[in-house]
A and B are shown apart, each in its own frame.
Chain A
Amino acid sequence: MSDPILLLKDRLLRAGISLRAASRYCAELSDHRDDLIDHLQAQGMAPDAARAEALKRLGSPTQLALPMLVDRRNRSLVARWPMVFFAGLPLLAQALASALPVVVFGFAARRFLPDTRLPDVASAIALSWLILPVAIGWLAVAAANRRRCALRWPLLGAAVGVMLGTALQLDVVVPMAGAAGSISVAFGLPSLLPLLVLLALVLLPVYLRPHFGDLR
């Protein structure tokens, strides 16, 4: 990473400055640098020399970062409470996204869904409970990485999500002649194989993109 402004953005994000504030500051500094280069070239300086002089005038990433760090209003809420944003909220989202299909399923089963389709729909919902924690976990890891936040909270949240997803069980009893059907949700002991496979999937982005590996 040779561009000092990219380096500055990285440093600001790691220091807990909000993504919005850091992006805006760096974008304006980039424009400023380009204006300065144009100005110096207009004065007769060679392009490379103009760029070097402009960067020198802007100062080092440390000098540029300091005024942003001094103002506490630039601090990101996400950086202050990473556990809430990268573990709590994803788990809440998973819980809501897992509960909603069951509610809709129950409503549809009573009103219009043919009894013969009930097991298929139940299987689809059970499958979604396995996909959800992985998808939400990936999103949380990507969001944390974009903000240069530590990955321990999104990974922990995703691991808990995977355990919950694999522990959830949906049982459907199709109505028979003279006997009412039922839809029930319960927590059980998760099966080891799906648990391990899903945990490995959650960790996949960290393996595929080595710079994701900041596990502070």
Chain B
Amino acid sequence: MAQSNPHFLNGVPELLVLRLLSDREMYGYELVQAIRDATGDSIVLAEGVVYPMLHGLERDGALQSRRQTVAGRSRVYYSVTPAGSDRFARLAETWRELNRAIGSLLGEPSRV
């Protein structure tokens, strides 16, 4: 089983969640599985992280939710709002800049 990886993940769960929910609405379990599948089990978000984050993003207006009963089980589906799309665009840009900067640093030979 892949281990959850709390280091290097600051801001990443939010980025992943907004990205995946941009494609289609999902409920929590589906989202956790989608993150595992999309990252080839490299990133495994703990359930204790996912739901409070979803609730926080909803409170910020980045996500909206609707409840639906499927096969006798109540599910809360989350989807991205226009404000959430803007937030994702900003986060993605920040991530790309960071990625370029770190990539550039790691690519350079050490001067020490």
Q: How extensive is the interface on chain A, given as a class?
A: 20 to 34
Count of chain B residues with Cβ under 8 Å from any Cβ of A?
19
One digit per residue, 1 when the CB lies within 8 angstroms of any chain B CB and 0 when it does not, for chain A 42-53 equals 000000000000
One digit per residue, 1 when the CB lies within 8 angstroms of any chain A CB and 0 when it does not, for chain B 45-89 equals 011110111011001000000000000011110000000000000
B-contacting residues, A19-71, CB 8 Å: 21, 24-25, 27-29, 31-32, 34-36, 57-59, 63-68, 70-71
A-contacting residues, B74-106, CB 8 Å: 74-76
CB-based A-B contact count at 8 angstroms: 52
Given the complex of chains A and B, what is the CA–CA distance between A66 and B49 in angstroms?
9
Residues of A within 8 A of B27 (CB): 31
Complex contact B47–A59 (CB within 8 A)? yes
Complex contact A32–B28 (CB within 8 A)? yes
> Is A74 part of the contact surface with B, judged by Cβ < 8 Å?
yes
Q: What DSSP secondary structure best describes chain B's contact surface?
A: helix
Complex A-B: 26 CB contacts under 8 Å: A21-B55, A24-B55, A25-B51, A25-B55, A27-B74, A28-B76, A29-B51, A31-B28, A31-B74, A32-B28, A32-B47, A35-B29, A35-B73, A59-B47, A59-B48, A63-B48, A64-B47, A65-B48, A67-B49, A67-B52, A67-B53, A68-B48, A68-B52, A73-B56, A73-B59, A74-B52
**Residues of A bordering B, CB below 8 Å:** 21, 24-25, 27-29, 31-32, 34-36, 57-59, 63-68, 70-71, 73-74
